Homo-oligomer: A and B are copies of this chain.
Amino acid sequence: MNQNRMILKGNICYSRSLSELRILEPGYLLCEDGICRGALEASGGPEALSEEWRQVPVTDYGGCLIIPGMTDLHLHAPQYEFRGMGMDMELLDWLEQYAFPAEAGYAKLSYADRAYEGFVEDLKASFTTRACMFATIHRESAELLMEKLDKAGLAALVGKVNMDRNSPDILREKSPEESAEQTVQWLERTAGRFLQVKPILTPRFIPSCSDGLMERLRRLQKAYRIPVQSHLSENPGEIQWVRELCPESACYGDAYDRFGLFGGEDCPTVMAHCVYSDRREQELMKERGVWAAHCPQSNMNLSSGIAPVREFLDRGIKTGLGTDVAGGHSLSMFRAITDAVQASKLYWRLVDQTKKPLALEEAFYMATVGGGSFFEAAGFAASGRFEPGQSMDALVLDDGPLRASRDYTARQRLERLIYFDDVRTLKAKYISGKKVSH
């Protein structure tokens, strides 16, 4: 018997498609070497299991719901410490007054050590199993963050940030050469070193990256074949700035594309926000296979607006959800799901009544399958569903603390648990089959 097999039992719920859930009430979840081997109806008892699985120990979670882990497709780890502050500002002011000064602190490794420790601890205790994140420009701090995430058993893509212009002195790399050189050192030290934590190339956004730097990052991307993350079309002021900086670009996305850092073959790319991505930019995203990381809470907090997510979905643009801590103040992906639904309702009501609001199923899909597919493109095992071959990333949820009546359907209980957004309901969390305690 394979010692690396286990079975979880509970009420299983995951996305069959964008608009449909698969529900097993109850079900068995088969796991081998950290990989899901399928989900089976369990109401008939162990008979449903094939002979080779009948001897495998079953962890029975009774009436709990078991759902796939959440993938947070965009957040800033160094901003976690000051989340929920300065929320009366718009993007560019907020960057200058809060984000940049705080990030400068991470030049000191001792500072980063303390701050990242708290962040990783809270991320571990959250509903998130995978996260794609920005660190700061500081090579050693970024490496430290990766070590901490690895030790906590989390799956992550982490970016040492590149920025060599239009930034405060304390947070500006002195030249494109220096920025690129630091990036190479960081890549050499981290690529392939961790089990489930990998580097991702991270030009902060067009305004803070010179053409010279972008050109060097293009070369690094080709050489190391690593994925790319950045920001796109978040705020009107920012977009106008990019227009002035890059008059030759057809759109904001094109300013990345000119340097080969906007998707395409061997360059999985995720762009955060896309609030103002028009038809032309969306078509470019679709063509290049660029992922959109929709961050509704941040887009409200920074008065950015509401991204046209329904258009993304209709157009077939791959879309996930991000908390964008600390533009977003909450680290919770359950909150991101409900924020996405709420924002889509206001978009429908206030902007365009031909754009149907997101159903819970659709936002849930984005938070699991949508984000998970980016990690798959970036070299991880697939995640987000309990299909054979996917990574066994699972959340076990107990709605006891919510005074739940047991008469609710699994679908109703899922909705309640997501809206309640209470980590006390998180009974267990598995990443690649390993139980991550908290």
Known contacts A303-B345, A345-B301: A85-B415 contact under CB 8 Å: yes
- Complex Cα distance, B4 from A205, in Å, reads 61
A136 to chain B, nearest CB (A): 18
Is there contact, CB below 8 Å, between B346 and A346? yes
Asked if A3 is at the interface (CB within 8 A of a chain B CB), the reply is no
Known contacts A300-B342, A350-B351, A360-B87: A81-B305 contact under CB 8 Å: no
A190 to chain B, nearest CB (A): 26
- Complex Cα distance, B330 from A304, in Å, reads 24
- A241 contacts which chain B residues (CB < 8 A)? none
Is there contact, CB below 8 Å, between B305 and A360? no
- A416 contacts which chain B residues (CB < 8 A)? 83-85
Is there contact, CB below 8 Å, between A412 and B301? no
Is there contact, CB below 8 Å, between A349 and B305? yes
- A360 contacts which chain B residues (CB < 8 A)? 87-88
8 Å CB contacts to B: which residues of A336-366? 338, 341-342, 345-346, 348-351, 357, 359-360
Asked if A50 is at the interface (CB within 8 A of a chain B CB), the reply is no
Known contacts A303-B348, A304-B349, A403-B118: A359-B415 contact under CB 8 Å: no
Is there contact, CB below 8 Å, between A350 and B306? yes
Asked if A16 is at the interface (CB within 8 A of a chain B CB), the reply is no
Is there contact, CB below 8 Å, between B305 and A350? yes
User: What does the 1/0 interface line of A237-254 toward B look like (CB < 8 Å)?
Assistant: 000000000000000000
8 Å CB contacts to B: which residues of A311-357? 329-330, 338, 341-342, 345-346, 348-351, 357
9 closest A-B pairs by beta carbon, nearest first, are A84-B419, A300-B342, A303-B345, A84-B416, A329-B419, A118-B403, A350-B350, A305-B349, A85-B412
